[in-house]
Structure formats: C-alpha cells, structure tokens
Amino acid sequence: MTEPAEDRPLKRTIPPDLQTQVEDIQIKIPRTTGPPDDLDDRRKRWLIVGICLHTIISPILRTYVVPVVTKLCYSLTSRNKIHKQTYGSHLERYAPTNTQLNYQAINNNKTKRNKAQYDYRVRSAVDLSRLFLQTHMAHFTAFDDSCDSSALLGIIVNIDRFSPVVQANAKKIRSDIRNAWAHCDFTEWTAIKYTDSFQLMGQLISNLKLSNREENRILAELNRWAMNGQHFLSGTTLGLEIVGDIRQQTHVLSEYVQTLCTETDSQFIKVQKELSRIENDLQGRIKSLESVYTLKEEIKKQVEDHIPPHIRAHHRQEIREWEQDKTTFLEIRATRHILESLPSHNCIVVTGSSGCGKSSNIHQAALHLRDSFGYEIIPVLTGPTDIMTYYNENKKQVFVVDDICGKETINMQTLQTWRDYSEKMEKIFKVAEKDIAGKNDKMVLKVSSPKLLLSCRLHIYKEAQFQLISLFTKKECNLLSPELCLLEAERMHMLHKYVPDDIIDNIKQVTENVDYFPLLCKLSKDKTSEEVKKLFAAPLISIKQNINNIIHENKQQFCALVLCILFNDGFDTDWLKLGSVSERKNMKTDKLEYIVKEFDIDLSKQKHRNSLKAGFSTLNGTYLKLRGTEYRMIHDKIYKMAAVICGQHLTECYIKYAPSVFIQIISSFKSVTEVHEKDDLIVLLKDEEEDYFERLLCDLTKHVIISTFNNYQLIYETFRHKLISF
C-alpha cells in the first residue's frame, strides 16, 4: 500500500462518531511535535547518548571485564600473594604498565589518616580493579549497576590484559563521550558529535568479540536509540511508546546521577537537575499523547487493518496461549537450530511425532521474530488462502501452520489445496540473495522477509505426495533426529519446569525412547509424586487408566471430556447458560442436548449445569485447556486416546457426532477384522454398521469425503463390499 504524500482528512474513512471524538481532541489539545520546544536539539542529543552509555554500553562492559580481571586477580594472588599483603610488603606498582596502585580505593582506606594504617589485602577481582582507578571513581562494591561507565572504561584503559583495539575504543569513548557528557556542556553536542558517538559505541561493541547473536542484539538496540533520537530531533510527532521509553530511561539515568551527587564533585548536580527537568517535560508530553493514543489505535485498525476484526481476535487468542506457554518453555538445541536457520530460510518445517514439541518450537520461533524483529504473527486457520488473503508485502510477517496436511494420516484434499497455491507461495517466500548474503555476513539484523513456519507429523512429511511441494522440503528440522533430539540433560531441565525437585528425585525412569517426553512433562504438572512416578513408568497405561477412572467415577467430568471430543473446535461454556439452551434452538444445541442426555444431565436445571461446569473446571490443566470461555483437549495425543476410550462407551453418540477425521481412522467393524486392545480402535457391532454407513452418506451429502474415501477400513475387501452394497 503506497503511503499518502500528505496528511488527509479522516472523515471519509472512519465512522462519524469517531470523527467527532477526533475533532473534540484537536480542539482541546494543541498540536505539538516531539517534546516541548524548550528542550532544544543539543540537549536531546546529550540525553540520548547518555541513555545509551548507561543502559547499553555499561551492562555489556561489566560482563566483558569480569573474566579478564578475575584471571589477573588469580595470577597476582598466586604469584604476589596480594590477598595477604601488609604495609611493609605489598605490590606498589603493576609491573607491565608501571601503574601506581591506589590502595586508598579499597577496604575503606580513604577514612584512615596515613598509609601505614591501610588494609592492603586484595580479596577479590572487584578490589583489584579498584586499585587501577582514582578513588572517586572506585565507589562500586561489585560488578553491578554501581560499577558505572567511568569505572568500566578506566579498568579497560588501565589494565594491559584487554585487547589493544578495545582499549583504544574505550579511551576514545571516555574522553569524547563519557567525560563530555558528564561536563554537561550542551554546546558540544552537535549533529556531528551525535553521529560520531554512535559510530564509536558501535565500533566498541564490534571489537568485543561477542557471539553473533549478542552482538547483533546490542547493535540493534543502539540503532533503535539512534533512530529514536533522530525522530526526537527532527520534530516529527513521537509515538507514546517511544516517548515513554525515553522518559523511563531518563528516570533511570537521573536516579543513577543522584547517587553520584553526594559522592563526587558538583558537576553532577547540574547533570541531575537537567535530567529531572527533561523527565518532567517528557511526562507532560506523555499525558498529551495518552489522550489520543487509544482513539488513534482504534481508527488505525478500522482504516488500515487488512485482517477482519473477528479473525484478528482469534489470532490474538492463539498468540496469548503461546505467550503463556513461554513460562514453561525450555530452549533446547533444536530451538536454537530453528532460530539460527531463520535468516537464511523463509520456510521451515519442524517434524516429529505427536507430543515431541513441534508446535511449541514454531510458536516460540514466531514470538522471537515478533519480539526481536517486529514481525506480525498470523496463525493460519484455514489453509493457504489465509496467506494469500493476509499477506502484505509492506509488513514483516510470519505465518504459522500447525499439523499441516493432517495428523494421523495425510489429508489429500488439504495437500492438493497447498499444491494449487505452491507457485504463488514460492514467490512470496523466495529467499532473496540479500538474505543469503546477510547470513554469510552474520547480519541477523537483516531478517525482514516473510516467513512460513510449519509443524508436520514425520510420517506425513515423508509421504511422496508431500515431497512434491518443493517449498516444504527446503528446510526440515526433525526433532527426532540424532542431531536435534532431546538430550538427557535437556530432559531433566524440562522436567524441572513442571515438577518440584523432591518429586524428580524419586523418578528414575525418565525413559529416553519416549518421543512425547515434552507432553509427559506438561501432564505431570500439579500431580503427586506417586502419580508422576506412574506416568513416567508407563505413560500410555497411566493416561488410559486415569481416563477410565473418570468414566466410571464422575459422570460430569466424563460428559465434559465427551463434549470437548465431539465439539472438536472447542466447547464454549456460555452454551450452558439457561438462555442458550431454551431460546436458541439450532443444530449445535440439538447436538448438545442429545449428548448430555446420555449422562442424565438436564440443562434446564441450574444444579445440573453448575455440576457440569465444575466437571470442566476440574479437568482444566490436565486433560483440557481453557481458552477464553472455550474448553479444548490439551493435546492431540490425549484427544485420540480419550476419543477411543470414551467412544467405546458411547458408540451411537460417536457415530452420530464425532468429527469426520475420527470416523475415518478409529472405528472398526467387528465383522470385518479382529481388533486388539493395543490397536486403539472403537469396535462397532453388527447392528451398528447401518448407522455408521448412514453417517458416511450424511458426510457425502455435505461434500465431506474424508470419512469415506480416506477410511481406514477400505483396506479390507469385506468392508468395501459392505459399503458398495449399502
């Protein structure tokens, strides 16, 4: 979409009531650009550079100096016994640079009258680093926030163990940026000095030899502040988030300088007063922006959003669920491999078996793209048409597809739909040469092209028909492969996310050959030690026993399970409200009433409705998950097991209302073949066969062919004959 060359009235593009609100606000609030006029450009440059020095450069330098100074401390302790020094025998100078060591800076020696009374013992790397600094700079007690940029730069400049190029950078930053900033002479902060300061800070980061990911993260943060600073200076209207960020960091910087005002010379009093004034000015600007921000966002969504509101709401709900899972998600080597593949691959297929963590990994990868690179996440709900409809070449977007082309068996209809759109998708997700170059140059900051993240059952991925879609075969991450499968240490770390240490100590059989280990961890949450022990000793038996216990002991929970199985898109507990049952007669309520009658539950009675709601609530987090007011089965693997077990008790109900995908794969005629318990099939008796065929016919009249033409029993000649005869 081409941006307009100038601002245009919104009257023709937004509802009249919103336009009225806009005009009211325009009358009440004067038009301002950026912060108030008295905050001139040189003060702004000074502020932005100070924020970067304090919140970006200082933290990374603390991490950088610790191992170097620690190693030197160990060396001097071994060779010179600096931890046992006295006035009569102590290291006066650091020989490699002939630096006079400042013992006044440690052990509170500055309060003592003469050097003979000093405590010369150097007990830590922190003590050692303070010896290389002037006393007023050595006010820190650890390598934490108290160790500021002045001290850190001094440590690097004065100790010879650091890289010469880093020392040169540090010396230049100390003289040209940090000292100039502390002197608070705004006339120095020209546009050239602002640009030079960011270039110099960037050079320092590049020379620290950090990991690619860390270096790129910090450079991106510097670049973000440099760009925000440019908007800050140019007079453009700043967004609430940017102004809020600047105000927050100004407050942090002001608090830091306040601690210096009582300990060092008076120049910092001037700095602190200036920061306080700027903070107050920014707070006033935020209040003005907040009055229009919500309305502006509402207008923007209505005018520009290419995704309908009801679809967008569904996307947000999906993504919120992924964010909740983030608290227990463990980044494993497979996760890191997926993230490292993002710059050079626009389509990544994560494969494996049910319960091995496929979906969790692509969800977290999508959140990473959103949080680190500003991507818009679009969960694909219906198929490739979602991509064609919602793709916007002017946005960074990641499309996420769970269980593409089926779960138990390949869905040929769905596969054909993807094949029909494969050429168009190839163009959208084509890897440009600049992306490949970006990977080679380790420029992860360049990630901007559209991404497609897929999860797929391994047996479906290996199907010859699936392999014909070349886009899907360019990058596979197989979570069961020797290179990416869960390591023993990762399994234990994952278990610790869900289970207390005292229970883990009693679990010896963390079985390595269980592919669905992540699912077991999820199911173990909030269970007793004995329950967890049984779950890991014999997972499938334990789960099936628990479901059978529910069936025989609690009809409300049994009913809740069945409703979530048969309403496979989710069961909304709002349907249990009295008005929903008595006033809205439709296929959905007919289905609901038919099912609950099997359990002698009368939805016209409040007590029955409340008992059923309690059944849902009790199963939440174990076999069910709650999304808004909708309950769903917690996982596909549990869905299938519960569907088979519950279906064996309610075959008529199952035949009438089960999803077509389950009709095709988990039912078997007793007259056709012998069924064993391990087969996980619902056995249908002779007198139920006619009802079953009626269901297939009903599906066909609705143009649903999967239950018939993908039916598991078609491999048997007897079944085929019965079907044709019917």
pLDDT digits (tens, 9 = 90+) for 333-352: 999 999 999 998 999 999 99
Q: What span, in angstroms and rounded, lies between the C-alpha atoms of 536 and 521? A: 9
In this prediction, residue 9 carries a pLDDT of 36
- The verdict on 141 and 258 lying in the same domain is yes
- The verdict on 274 and 368 lying in the same domain is no
Q: Looking at the domain assignment, is residue 225 inside a domain?
A: yes
Q: Looking at the domain assignment, is residue 10 inside a domain?
A: no
Q: What span, in angstroms and rounded, lies between the C-alpha atoms of 297 and 182? A: 39
Say if residue 587 is exposed, middle or buried (CB neighbours under 10 Å; 0-12, 13-18, 19+). Answer: exposed
Q: What span, in angstroms and rounded, lies between the C-alpha atoms of 687 and 352? A: 39
Number of compact structural domains in the chain: 3
In this prediction, residue 533 carries a pLDDT of 81
Q: What span, in angstroms and rounded, lies between the C-alpha atoms of 114 and 104? A: 10
* DSSP string for 576-611: GSHHHHHH--SHHHHHHHHHHHTTT--TTSHHHHHH
pLDDT tens across 10-35, in order? 333 444 554 455 445 444 444 444 43
Percent of the chain clearing pLDDT 90 (strictly above)? 32
Q: Looking at the domain assignment, is residue 486 inside a domain?
A: no
* DSSP string for 620-675: BTTTEEEETTEEEES-HHHHHHHHHHHHHH-HHHHHHHS-HHHHHHSEEETTT---
- H helices within 81-116, ranges in order? none
Name residue 5's amino acid.
Answer: A
pLDDT tens across 265-323, in order? 555 555 656 656 665 555 555 555 455 555 666 666 555 667 888 888 889 888 998 99
**Listed residues 280, 300, 324: the one ending a domain:** 280
Q: What span, in angstroms and rounded, lies between the C-alpha atoms of 525 and 154? A: 50
Beta strands of 41-148 (E only): which ranges?
93-94, 99-100
Structural domain including 61 reads: 41-280
Q: Looking at the domain assignment, is residue 288 inside a domain?
A: no
- The verdict on 451 and 560 lying in the same domain is no
- The verdict on 275 and 314 lying in the same domain is no
- The verdict on 355 and 270 lying in the same domain is no
Distance of CA 488 to the CA centre of its chain: 24
Between CA 384 and CA 458, with CA 632 as vertex, the angle to 5 degrees is 50
- The verdict on 556 and 446 lying in the same domain is no
pLDDT mean over 173-191: 85
Whether 45 has a pLDDT exceeding 60, the answer reads yes
Whether 173 has a pLDDT exceeding 90, the answer reads yes
- The verdict on 429 and 538 lying in the same domain is no
Least trusted range by pLDDT, from 47-51, 159-163, 477-481, 547-551: 47-51
Q: Looking at the domain assignment, is residue 346 inside a domain?
A: yes
- The verdict on 153 and 270 lying in the same domain is yes
Instruction: Give the pLDDT band (50/70/90) at residue 638.
Output: confident
In this prediction, residue 575 carries a pLDDT of 85
Beta strands of 223-301 (E only): which ranges?
none
In this prediction, residue 165 carries a pLDDT of 95
Q: Looking at the domain assignment, is residue 7 inside a domain?
A: no
Contact by Cβ (8 Å): 675, 666: no
In this prediction, residue 3 carries a pLDDT of 40
Q: CA nearest 148: which of 48, 257, 269?
A: 257
- The verdict on 547 and 608 lying in the same domain is yes
- The verdict on 372 and 430 lying in the same domain is yes
- H helices within 305-390, ranges in order? 309-325, 333-341, 358-373, 384-390
Contact by Cβ (8 Å): 594, 583: no
Percent of the chain clearing pLDDT 70 (strictly above)? 79
Q: Looking at the domain assignment, is residue 30 inside a domain?
A: no
pLDDT mean over 214-223: 92
